Amino acid sequence: MFHKIRLQLTAMNALVLFIMLVVSGFSLYGYMQHRLYEEIDNSLQSAAVEFMRAGPGGPPDRPIRRLVDQQAIALFWSNQGQVVAQAPEQAVYEEDLEVFRAVRDNFREPQTVTLSQHNYRTLALPLDKPVLFIAPGAVSGYKVDTIQLVRNIDSEQEILNRLLMVLIIGCCVGVGVTVWAGFFLAGRALVPIKISWEKQQQFVADASHELRTPLAVIRSHGELMLRHPTQTVQDQSQNISIVLRESKRMSKLVADLLTLARSDSDQLEINRKPLELDLILQDLAEQFTALAEIEGIELHTDIATGLRLDADEERMRQLFVILIDNALKYTEQGRVTLTCKRAHNGIEVKVQDTGIGIAEQDIPHVFDRFFRADKARNRASGGTGLGLSIAKWIVEVHGGKIWLTSALGTGTTVHMLFPARH
């Protein structure tokens, strides 16, 4: 699937860049052609002014221009469509005049014509007052009503042809480089998508596995009860208790999954308001004291007063319930300490236990969803591996940081740092 997407991204990127290169190249070609032709047309206009001032023959003592500077030739057309004079003389062969005669009547608009594989730019200008021209030794003359300027543009056309060739080669090379670079960059761009996809697939697989277990237990005990329809509720109390326990476990799992799904899509609203964090922690410590005594665990608190925080009270209670419950769950005998004090840049909270601890290689993964260092123990205690993931989201959505230090056989400490309320 990802290979196909990579090819599609590469093709799309290459197509877009190819279009950009073609548009840019032809824009450059069009601009260069316009500039070159503009200079040529301006020179034809200047030459036309001189020829119109001098007339068909030109004063013998005032040459129109030096031959070395001559950029254009002039053809003087009569009202009968004949060339009566050229400047310089015999500049165009008689058999070639038909090419220029075809564009003679296109006044004011410069034209490009091709003659014997050569390119010429022509400009025809009508005279306001026709001029009578009589050739030497002739009895009658012709009225000249049009002057046509012709200039060879082979050098300019050669420049344009080379430019076009360079642009075509550049586009081809650019497309090749684009395909290679696009394929490489598409692969790099798909790396986080692959990782997210794999995590999503793993998440779905783990969630399905976790849901399948309680469903299987509920189904099996339900079938056992159906086999003995005459038994009373008291007789089936054990099966009913197991069904209720697994239903409760599955309900908690679904609630945790819904919380994480909504957090991923930013659908959970955080109702921030000023909170006395120390009062919330004291209240939770009192609630867990009885449970800790039943388990034979000492619950100590070291909570400073006057610690204020802008936070969602419900989410903060959920956070500390998760952490204190985990600490009690993985401490068979010993002590759990809840610490809260003011730090130099905020409020620091620690939940420390003297339980079984976590292996060093497992510490980087403790906040991953469904990760459990001791899966058998977690399943027996009803854990789903989502508590710390939810805790991390709650801390981070409040602008805080959370991390964990632990060692096997020594215990675990969860550190949290929140920005204090100003």
Question: What are 359-410's pLDDT values in tens digits?
Answer: 888 888 888 877 766 654 555 555 667 888 889 989 998 889 999 999 888 8
Question: What pLDDT is recorded for position 351?
Answer: 94
Structure tokens at 295: 């388990």
Question: What pLDDT is recorded for position 56?
Answer: 58
**Is the CB of residue 346 less than 8 Å from the CB of residue 420?**
yes
**Is the CB of residue 355 less than 8 Å from the CB of residue 315?**
no
Is there a single domain that holds both residue 257 and residue 325? no
Question: What pLDDT is recorded for position 135?
Answer: 55
Return the percentage of the chain with pLDDT > 70, whole number: 86
Q: How confident is the model at residue 59 (pLDDT cuts 50, 70, 90)?
A: very low
Question: Which CATH number goes with the domain that contains 253?
Answer: 1.10.287.130
- Specify if 182 maps to a domain: no
Tell which residue, 51, 54, 97, has the closest CA to residue 74.
Answer: 51
User: Looking at the 3D structure of the chain, how many domains does it have?
Assistant: 3
pTM over 0.95: no
Q: How confident is the model at residue 136 (pLDDT cuts 50, 70, 90)?
A: low
Question: What pLDDT is recorded for position 211?
Answer: 75
**Which of 28-37, 196-205, 375-384 tops mean pLDDT?**
28-37
Q: Which domain covers residue 127, as residue numbers?
A: 8-160
Question: Amino acid identity of 32?
Answer: M
Given 229, 264, 299, the domain boundary residue is: 264
Given 212, 242, 264, the domain boundary residue is: 264
Is there a single domain that holds both residue 235 and residue 277? no
Tell me what the mean pLDDT of segment 247-262 comes to: 78
Structure tokens at 193: 């998508």
Among 87-96, 148-157, 225-234, which is the least confidently predicted range? 87-96
Is there a single domain that holds both residue 148 and residue 32? yes
- Specify if 306 maps to a domain: yes
Q: How confident is the model at residue 320 (pLDDT cuts 50, 70, 90)?
A: very high
pLDDT over 80 (residue 81): no
Is there a single domain that holds both residue 14 and residue 156? yes
Residue 128 CA to its chain's centroid (Å): 64
- Specify if 383 maps to a domain: yes
- Specify if 183 maps to a domain: no
